[in-house]
A = this chain, B = another copy of it.
Amino acid sequence: MNLSASATDQSRVFVVDDDASIRASLDSLLRSVGHKVETYGSALEFLQHQRQDDAACLVLDVRLPGISGLDFQAQLQALNIDLPIIFMTGHGDIPMTVRAMKAGAVDFLSKPFRDQDMLDAVAAAIERDRKRRREADAVADLRGLHAALTPREREVMVHVTAGLMNKQIAHLMGLSEITVKIHRGNMMRKMEAGSVADLVRMAEALGVEGPQA
C-alpha cells in the first residue's frame, strides 16, 4: 500500500520571515549542514507554494506581515498541516512564548540567537516530523485496509478486538455462529492480520475499538 520509502530521505526547511537579510543568512546556514531550504517573505506566500513529501519543518518569525506567527500556527493546525514549528522573535514576551510552546512549537528563539541553537532546533524538529510521518504512513496503510471492509466485517472486528467469542458475537449481532466465522475470516484476511494480537494493535492504531471495558 505504501511501499514507497516516503519519497526521499531529504530534510526540507521552510523559512518565513519578512526580513530578506535574515532569510538569506538562514538559507545559507541551513544549507551548509545539508538541509534543503525554501524561504518566504510572508505566510501567504508560503501557503501558495506546494509542499513536497519530505520530512520538513517551519522556521517562523512571530511577527509576520499581515498575520501573527501564533495565529498562523493555529491556522496551519486548522488546515491540517502538521509541521513542527520553530519560532524566532526580536521582542517576544513570555505569554507569547508559553502560548506557542503549548500549541506544540519545537522551540522559540530570541534574536539574535547562536547558529548552533538554530541548527539544534531544526534537527530536533526534522526528527519529530520524520517520526510523525512514519506513524502517519503506517496508520494510513491500515486505514486503507480497514476501508475495504464491509460494514458487517467492521462490526465483527470491533467485537473480536473486545475479546468476545464467535458465539457471543453471533448473539449480539443476531446471527448464526457460522456467519460470524465467515465475516471474521474475511476480515482477518483483508486486514492482513496474522493473529488476534496483531488485530488488536491495528484496532488501537485505528481507534476503532468499542469503549474499553
A contacts, CB < 8 Å to B: 89, 92-95, 97-98, 101-102, 107-108, 110, 160-164, 194-198, 200-201, 204, 212-213
Contact = CB atoms under 8 A, between A and B. Distances in A.
Copies in the complex: 2
A88 B213 CA distance: 41
Contacts of A89: 94
Contact of A97 (B94, B198, B200, B201): B94
B101 A195 contact: no
Nearest to A102: B101
Contact of A94 (B108, B160, B197, B200): B108
B194 A163 contact: yes
Contacts of A196: 163, 196-197, 200
A198 to B, nearest CB: 5
Contacts of A200: 196-197, 200-201
Contacts of A101: 97-98, 101-102
B97 A163 contact: no
A91 to B, nearest CB: 10
Contacts of A160: 197
21 contacts: A89-B94, A92-B94, A94-B94, A94-B97, A94-B108, A94-B110, A97-B98, A97-B108, A101-B101, A102-B107, A161-B197, A163-B194, A163-B195, A163-B197, A163-B198, A164-B195, A196-B196, A197-B200, A198-B213, A200-B201, A204-B204
Contacts of A204: 201, 204
A148 to B, nearest CB: 21
A67 B98 CA distance: 23
